[in-house]
């Protein structure tokens, strides 16, 4: 099997085990048994369990990055709200389809490994920074009211995390309905007052 394909196989199986057993109760023996590889093969690709786990975090960041497109304003461009809606739909569809990754990130128990805790926090800090940059851009474009964008970014991240945590335990939700609710909530919290009336009409027939 090609090296990259084998590495992807190990990551795929590790993701399922982490989701089922949790990071701390999973060991390398579990992963190599599930992936049906030799211990030496595992160490060709990863230094240890932490190294593999960090690669899974990087995968999430890469997947999110390709799904979040910069909002553009100009002739022929969709309305900003429609562009936000499309971004949100892509992100939520990915997160809710990757239940294993979602369970890993949301169920990670803190306090057992300070180094890993810091890496998880750094992961969320990087997502918050992406949200903050989007808010800053929205302000310069006149779409978002002036606010403490760092605080607003963590408010948005926290709300989305809790929403995903609850929905990941249920049957697959109506993505379009979910997107509309999150979009309305988010925009009503950061939009300039003169745009609120327009935003209230989002999704209305």
Q: What is the pLDDT of residues 30-52, one digit of tens each?
A: 999 998 888 998 999 999 998 99
Give me the chain's average pLDDT, please: 83
Answer CATH for 1-46 from 1.10.10.60, 1.20.120.10, 1.10.1530.10, 1.10.150.120: 1.10.10.60
- Domain boundaries of the chain, sorted by first residue: 1-46, 48-200
Name the CATH superfamily for 48-200: Tetracycline Repressor, domain 2 (1.10.357.10)
Please state the rounded mean pLDDT for residues 163-169: 79
- Examine the pLDDT at 89 and tell me if it is beyond 60: yes
Give the pLDDT band (50/70/90) at residue 112.
Answer: low
Task: Enumerate residues 6+ apart whose C-beta is below 8 A from 186.
Answer: 156, 159
Average of per-residue pLDDT across 164-189: 80
Please give the full DSSP string across 14-73, using - where no structure is assigned: HHHHHHHH-TTT--HHHHHHHHT--HHHHHHH-SSHHHHHHHHHHHHHHHHHHH-PPP--
**191: which 2 tokens?**
């939009």
């Amino acid at each position: 099997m090609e090296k990259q394909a084998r590495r992807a196989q190990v990551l795929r199986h590790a993701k399922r085990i982490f989701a089922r057993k949790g990071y701390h109760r999973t060991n390398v023996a579990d992963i190599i048994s599930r992936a049906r590889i030799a211990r030496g093969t595992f160490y060709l690709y990863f230094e240890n369990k932490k190294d593999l786990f960090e690669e899974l975090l990087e995968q999430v960041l890469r997947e999110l990055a390709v799904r979040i497109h910069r909002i553009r304003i100009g002739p022929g461009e969709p309305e900003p709200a429609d562009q936000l809606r499309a971004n949100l739909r892509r992100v939520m569809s990915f997160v809710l389809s990757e239940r294993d990754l979602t369970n890993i990130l949301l169920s990670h128990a803190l306090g057992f490994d300070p180094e890993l805790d810091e890496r998880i926090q750094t992961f969320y800090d990087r997502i918050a920074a992406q949200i903050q940059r989007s808010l800053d851009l929205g302000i310069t474009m006149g779409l978002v009211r002036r606010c403490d964008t760092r605080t607003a970014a963590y408010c948005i991240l926290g709300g989305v995390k809790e929403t995903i945590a609850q929905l990941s335990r249920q049957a697959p939700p109506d993505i379009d309905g979910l997107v509309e609710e999150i979009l309305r909530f988010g925009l009503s919290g950061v939009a300039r007052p003169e745009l609120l009336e327009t935003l209230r009409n989002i999704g209305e027939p």
